[in-house]
């Protein structure tokens, strides 16, 4: 497996994170596509076969904690968890341990215990003697239940007998059947063995079968894990003190262990394991000495290092029906990079220890609320509709103030926005949003697009005076522009954008136009719009191969346009009386235009007549939509957009997430809503006469970033 350290992973978008995992071999293309399109999630129809009375499925975040090394092996940790700070804490802890050699974990044996309880035994001693004498025969009979387990190298290893005294003085015999379940969790397997062998055991005892089921106290599968941290003395000692307190205070030990289970449960769910079983075993083990105790222990090592050790019963599985039933579980297992159940158990123990460390480190320093506060402040700033431009500054001020409220965020944003208004850009450009006809345009049909005004601003700065823009994908375009315009060294460019990239909104063309204009005005080059457009078209070729030319044209001229490209680009400017009431919303996945256009082409080969009929209909929609736009007939235009979305869905470029977004926009009052651009991720556009704020709010509160045409409405 490749390195599990992925620099800057948290700074990437969801789709870029998926790309990074594919590039490093943690994820195959098929699973990556499933994640991108939301097809990894359990379908309600499959869920209906798993439990009773199903009415739907329930979702939680799936995240990745990188950086893990356990016993020299690289692992990622897939985590299903809703609690903020857990993933970030784990990632940080694993990075620290990585610097000190990684986690070392051991597991001496990995056996699941099946129990058969026999009651009403007259002579307990004689019964146990008979059971001991029949030991080999019982093992053989038990192994006969699952011959395939034996073939796989597993099976019943031993049977032990325990005498139990009940509260009223009666006695019960507990037979413990110790089963090696190989890579399976083994619950069903062991329960079947218990049920099969129980009558023989009861007969040997001359008693009655009371219970026959596995035990979740899996203390024949104990994991031990150790890690060393190099830390400042004060924090190190704080962690040791916290550990010592947990050792004597069951109230604290419960919370201490909860922190451990935050990580273990999240990994267990992500890999399809029974986390209730793991929880039950962990807490029973924590109380094994008659008082509830912490599962981990922290102390100062011989060289002043912080040493952490955890001892916990864990018996997860990597194969079996319940895992394969859920497609997300197999993706989780692949991401974890484990090749056996024992490796997964070792990783779980390391995760528990690391999660515990992260919590104790926070408690011993800033306290646990600081990390939560940051996330809370980000979500409040987002609900307040703070623009990208001042977003981070607003978040920092909210935290510093300690008054994390929506009204406060708005107040700070207004002040910061105002103070930044003197900052006049050297060049600006529009983004574009297609209202009708995407994909059909590839086959020579009309499409209708409108600009997203003032979407990108560029500033020329002295080289080295300011950080260069953090947009590596545009470095080549910037070089091309500098070259075409003969910009001498010593000039750099800084960008402010309210357009996300790769979202079907023409960001790359808008960047090129804004940058070209910035150099043009700063260096007084005297280029007209046509020349700017031509340079931007060159940049688009660099980015997209064979672009239609519409993105750079709209970025330059910033007017609504009906266009077609049947070898050459034909454009017709559409005059509109007012700013359109449009809301754009971005999905969590970036679209890959090239791949999606290629996919449509492949499917068209197989159903040419039908696809061409769809494209012809889209052509008619674009023409009718242009007329509706000219009359400002938004109801008609909205209706046509809805039909266009249906056609785009028919040619398979929509995703479940885009469908959900379209439904949210329509339910909030949009006259029309559709995916825009290539699809397969990217954005939707909604036409919202009289309900721009309602639709924006509905989409934002479902977690989607929205962009208004009017910059004052720009929302994060």
In the residue annotation, 11 being an active-site residue is answered as: no
Of 623-682, binders to ligand MEV (CB under 6 A) are none
Please, what is the angle between helix 135-145 and helix 187-205, to 10°? Answer: 140
Closest distance of CB 78 from ligand MEV, Å: 19
The count of chain residues that interact with ligand MEV, using the rule CB under 6 A, is 10
185-244 binders of ligand MEV (CB under 6 A): none
Closest CA to 8 of 19, 563, 489: 19
Site of tokens 């002579």: 123
Q: Which residues contact 313 (CB under 8 A, 6 or more apart)?
A: 217, 218, 219, 221, 222, 223, 281, 282, 285
Q: 258 an active-site residue?
A: yes
Minimum distance, C-beta of residue 368 to ligand MEV, in the bound complex (Å): 5
Q: What is the nearest approach in angstroms of ligand MEV to the Cβ of residue 360? A: 6
> Toward ligand MEV, which CB reaches closer, 83 or 158?
83
Which residue, 282 or 709, has its beta carbon nearer to ligand MEV? 282
Smallest gap, in angstroms, from Cβ of residue 259 to ligand MEV? 3
Stretch that binds ligand MEV, among 95-103, 210-218, 250-258, 282-290 (CB under 6 A): 250-258
For residue 270, the minimal CB distance to ligand MEV (Å) is 17
Query: Minimum Å distance from CB 363 to ligand MEV?
Result: 6
Residue count of the chain, please give it: 716
Query: 226, 100 in Cβ contact below 8 A?
Result: no
Residue 632: CB minimum distance to ligand MEV, A: 54
Closest CB to ligand MEV among residues 368, 399: 368
Closest CB to ligand MEV among 269 and 359?
Answer: 359
Nearer to ligand MEV, 372 or 410 (CB): 372
CA distances from 616 to 439, 444, 613 (A): 11, 10, 5
Instruction: Kindly identify the residues of this chain, within the stretch 354-413, that bind ligand MEV according to CB under 6 A.
Output: 359-360, 363, 368
Distance CA 333, CA 80 (A): 12
We find the least distance from the C-beta atom of residue 199 to ligand MEV, in angstroms, to be 46
From the list 256, 482, 592, 645, which residue makes contact with ligand MEV (rule: CB under 6 A)?
Answer: 256
Q: Are 217 and 284 contacting, i.e. CB atoms less than 8 angstroms apart?
A: yes
Examine the residue annotation and report whether 293 is marked as an active-site residue of this protein. no
User: Using CB under 6 A, which of the segments 253-261, 275-283, 539-547, 604-612 binds ligand MEV?
Assistant: 253-261
Query: 3-state secondary structure string, 355-388?
Result: HHHHHHHHHHCCCCHHHHHHHHHHHHHHHCCCCH
Nearer to ligand MEV, 265 or 346 (CB): 265
For 662-716, the DSSP string reads: HHHHHHTT-SEEEEESS-SSSEEEEE-TT-HHHHHHHHHHTT-EEEESSGGG---
Determine which residue in the list 83, 122, 125, 475 makes contact with ligand MEV, applying CB under 6 A.
83
Dist CA 431 CA 551 (whole Å): 8
Q: Which stretch binds ligand MEV (CB under 6 A): 49-57, 254-262, 500-508, 538-546?
A: 254-262
| Cβ proximity of 444 and 564 under 8 Å | yes
Q: Which of 259, 320, 427, 680 binds ligand MEV (CB under 6 A)?
A: 259
**CB 457 within 8 Å of CB 428:** yes
* Joined tokens for residue 631: 């009359």
Using CB atoms, what's the residue nearest to ligand MEV? Answer: 259
- Which one is catalytic: 274, 411, 612, 636? 274
**Sequence-ordered alpha helix ranges (H) in 249-295:** 250-270, 275-286
Catalytic residue of the set 283, 297, 372, 697: 372
Beta strand pairing status for 222-229 and 296-300? unpaired
Distances (CA, A) of 344 to 71, 262, 264, 271, 594: 12, 16, 11, 9, 38
Contacting residues for 375 by C-beta, under 8 A, at least 6 apart: 84, 85
Q: Which of 258, 283, 415, 522 binds ligand MEV (CB under 6 A)?
A: 258
Beta carbons of 639 and 570 less than 8 angstroms apart: no
- CA 468 from centre of chain: 29
**Among residues 81 and 509, whose Cβ is nearest to ligand MEV?**
81
Closer of 189 and 363 to ligand MEV (Cβ): 363
Any contact of residue 262 with ligand MEV (CB under 6 A)?
Answer: yes
- Least separation in angstroms between CB 298 and ligand MEV: 11
C-alpha 63: how far from its chain's center? 4
* Cα distance between residue 520 and residue 426, in whole Å: 8
Active-site residue (options: 3, 10, 83, 529)? 83
What tokens does 153 get? 């190298």
Q: Is 171 in the active site? A: no
According to CB under 6 A, which residues from 688 to 707 bind ligand MEV? none
> How far apart, in whole angstroms, are the C-alpha atoms of residue 202 and residue 143?
18
Query: Which spans of this chain sit near ligand MEV (rule: CB under 6 A)?
Result: 83, 255-256, 258-259, 262, 359-360, 363, 368
Residues involved in catalysis = 83, 258, 274, 372
């Amino acid at each position: 497996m490749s390195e599990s350290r992925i620099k800057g992973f948290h700074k990437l978008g969801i789709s870029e994170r998926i790309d990074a995992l594919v590039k490093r071999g943690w994820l195959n293309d098929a699973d990556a596509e499933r994640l991108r399109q939301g097809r990894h999630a359990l379908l309600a129809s499959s869920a209906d076969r798993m439990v009773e009375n199903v009415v739907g499925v329930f979702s939680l975040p799936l995240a990745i904690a990188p950086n893990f090394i356990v016993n020299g092996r690289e692992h990622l940790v897939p985590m299903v968890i809703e609690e903020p700070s857990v993933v970030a804490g784990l990632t940080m802890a694993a990075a620290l341990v990585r610097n000190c050699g990684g986690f070392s974990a051991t597991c001496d044996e990995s056996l699941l215990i099946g129990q058969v309880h026999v009651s009403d035994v007259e002579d307990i001693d004689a019964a146990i003697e008979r059971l001991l004498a029949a030991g080999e025969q019982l093992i053989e009979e038990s192994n006969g239940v699952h011959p395939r387990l034996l073939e796989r190298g597993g099976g019943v290893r031993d049977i032990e007998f325990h005498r139990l005294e009940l509260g009223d003085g009666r006695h019960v015999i507990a037979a413990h059947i110790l089963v090696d379940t190989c890579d399976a969790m083994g619950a069903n397997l062991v329960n079947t063995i218990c049920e099969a062998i129980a009558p023989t055991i009861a007969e040997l005892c001359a008693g009655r079968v009371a219970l026959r089921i596995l035990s979740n106290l899996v203390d024949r599968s104990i994991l031990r894990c150790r890690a060393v941290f190099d830390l400042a003395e004060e924090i190190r000692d704080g962690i040791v003190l916290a550990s010592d307190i947990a050792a004597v205070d069951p109230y604290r030990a419960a919370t201490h262990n909860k922190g451990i289970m935050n990580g273990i449960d999240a990994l267990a769910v992500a890999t399809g394991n029974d986390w209730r079983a793991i929880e039950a075993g962990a807490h029973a083990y924590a109380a094994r000495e008659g008082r509830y105790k912490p599962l981990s222990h922290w102390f100062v090592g011989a060289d002043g290092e912080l040493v952490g050790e955890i001892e916990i019963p864990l018996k997860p599985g990597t194969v079996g029906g319940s895992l394969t039933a859920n497609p997300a579980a197999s993706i989780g297992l692949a991401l974890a990079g484990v090749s056996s159940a024992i490796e997964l158990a070792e990783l779980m123990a390391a995760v528990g220890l690391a999660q515990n460390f992260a919590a104790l480190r926070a408690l011993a320093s800033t306290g646990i609320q600081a990390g939560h506060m940051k996330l809370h402040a980000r979500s409040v700033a987002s609900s307040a509709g703070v623009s990208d431009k001042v977003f981070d500054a607003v978040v920092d001020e909210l935290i510093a103030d300690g008054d994390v409220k929506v009204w406060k965020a708005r107040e700070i944003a207004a002040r910061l926005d105002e103070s930044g208004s003197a900052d006049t850009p050297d060049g600006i450009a529009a983004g574009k949003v297609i209202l009708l006809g995407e994909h059909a345009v590839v086959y020579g049909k009309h499409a209708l697009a409108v600009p997203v005004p003032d979407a990108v601003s560029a500033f020329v700065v002295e080289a080295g005076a300011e950080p260069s823009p953090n947009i590596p994908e545009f470095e080549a375009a910037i070089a091309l522009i500098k070259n075409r315009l003969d910009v001498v060294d010593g000039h750099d460019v800084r960008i402010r954008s309210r357009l996300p990239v790769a979202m079907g909104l023409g960001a790359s063309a808008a960047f090129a136009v804004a940058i070209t204009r910035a150099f043009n005005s700063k260096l007084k080059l005297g280029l007209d719009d046509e020349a700017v457009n031509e340079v931007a078209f060159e940049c688009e070729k660099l980015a997209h191969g064979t672009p239609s030319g519409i993105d750079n044209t709209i970025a330059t001229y910033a007017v609504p346009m009906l266009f077609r490209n049947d070898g050459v680009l034909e454009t017709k400017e559409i005059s509109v009386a007012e700013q359109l009431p449009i809301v754009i919303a971005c999905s969590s996945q970036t679209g890959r235009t090239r791949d999606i256009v290629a996919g449509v082409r492949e499917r068209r080969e197989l159903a040419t007549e039908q696809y061409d009929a769809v494209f012809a209909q889209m052509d008619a929609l674009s023409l009718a939509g242009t007329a509706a736009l000219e009359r400002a007939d938004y109801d008609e235009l909205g209706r046509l957009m809805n039909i266009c979305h249906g056609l785009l869905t028919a040619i398979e470029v929509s995703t479940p997430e885009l469908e959900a977004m379209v439904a949210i926009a329509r339910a909030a009052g949009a006259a029309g809503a559709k995916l825009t651009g290539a699809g397969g991720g990217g954005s939707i556009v909604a036409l919202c006469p009289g309900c721009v704020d309602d639709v924006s709010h509905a989409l934002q509160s479902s977690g989607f970033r929205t962009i208004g045409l009017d910059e004052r409405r720009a929302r994060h």
